[in-house]
Amino acid sequence: MSARMSAVHVLNCAIDPLTMEQALQWCVETCRDAQRARIVLTANASHLVELQGDAALRQAADAADLVTADGMSLVWASWLLGHPLPERVTGIDMLSELLRLAPREGLRVFLLGAKPEVLERFVVQCQRENPGIDIAGWRDGYFKPADHEAVVRQIAESRADILFVAMPSPFKDIWCERYRDRLGVKLIMGVGGAFDVLAGIVPRAPRWMQVTGLEWAWRLMREPRRLWRRYLMGNSRFIWLILRDRLRGRVPAIQN
């Protein structure tokens, strides 16, 4: 299955129109067959706004092997622009499912990111909730540029199949693309703050807010001083850019 054969473009970012089940199948097949590390980028409105003016993030997005619609806003935008994506495919849900599948598929995982105490709690939880899981290694996300080589070497020496990177964008996206061929893994996925949520440190939005596209509002209510600019200004710009393309009659091209 080629994930990129029918990618839909939203604000010039190619989004793969896969369901959650299809995306998970693609990830498992990648871990079995890939000769080179493949990258999954879970995109949201903030990503698409940032890459309009960030050349390094644009390069990372273009180089990704699978791009999913992490935010409901992307799904809505695809409908408005004429080529609807089938559903939202979030990084946190893919992480949960791949951790569940890893023991059955014999996949080794490496966990990179979060604070040390959060990561330790998450490792214990992963082992408890996914009996038989092989966690090849882990490292917190608080390291300096001078440590990058050591981090890359630790991951490569772990012989993991999947690397989950729980760090902020655009750093994680650019970092993963820069080192992808030296990490020794088959699948790389950035998952943002998912470790904190799954470890029970940060509560996730209620289900009704997730399905109605209001998860951003939940996060904003919890951390208004840190996130107000990102969500209020970023989301406003996203809406403006989508409406501009719609009014100009620009619909997302289907990449064949």
pLDDT in tens, 59-69: 999 999 999 99
Q: Who wins on pLDDT, 1 or 76?
A: 76
Which tokens sit at 83? 């080529």
Q: 194: closest CA among 101, 108, 93?
A: 93
Among residues 18, 55, 89, 29, the alpha carbon closest in space to that of 173 is found at 55
C-beta of residue 186 within 8 angstroms of C-beta of residue 37: yes
pLDDT category, 254, cuts 50, 70, 90? very low
Query: Between 5 and 23, where is the model more confident?
Result: 23
Residue 1 has pLDDT above 50, yes or no: no
pLDDT at 4: 56
Q: What is the pLDDT of residue 120?
A: 97
pLDDT digits (tens, 9 = 90+) for 140-161: 999 999 999 999 999 999 999 9
C-alpha span between 11 and 250 (Å, rounded): 10
- Please, which residues have CB within 8 angstroms of residue 13's CB and are 6 or more apart in sequence? 43, 47, 48, 51, 61, 67
Which residue bears the tokens 């001078």?
146
Q: Read off the pLDDT of each residue in 129-144 and give the average, rounded to a whole number.
A: 97
What is the domain partition of the chain in residue ranges?
11-198, 210-248
Residue 49 banded pLDDT, cuts 50, 70, 90: very high
130: tokens are 């996914």
Question: What phi and psi values does residue 61 have, to the nearest 5 degrees?
Answer: -65, -40
pLDDT at 209: 75
Instruction: Give the DSSP per-residue string, 14-25.
Output: EE----HHHHHH
Q: Residues 68, 18: contact at Cβ < 8 Å?
A: yes
Percent of the chain with pLDDT over 90: 70
Tens of pLDDT, residue by residue over 207-252, are: 877 777 777 767 767 776 776 666 667 778 888 888 888 777 654 4
The two structure tokens encoding residue 230: 């990102």
State residue 125's pLDDT score.
Answer: 96
Q: What percent of the chain has pLDDT over 70?
A: 91
In CATH, what number does 11-198 get? 3.40.50
39 confidence band (pLDDT: 50, 70, 90)? very high
Q: Name the burial class of residue 119, with classes exposed (0-12), middle (13-18) and buried (19+) by CB atoms within 10 angstroms of its CB.
A: buried
Which pLDDT belongs to residue 228?
Answer: 61
Lookup result for tokens 């996300």: 141
Other CB atoms within 10 Å distance of the CB of residue 6: 14
Q: How big is the CA angle at 188 (ends 223 and 211), to the nearest 5 degrees?
A: 45
pTM, rounded to two decimals: 0.89
**pLDDT of 75 above 50:** yes
Phi, psi of 255 (to 5 degrees): -90, 115
Residues 204 and 95 sit within 8 Å (Cβ to Cβ): no
- Which pair of structure tokens corresponds to residue 134? 């092989």
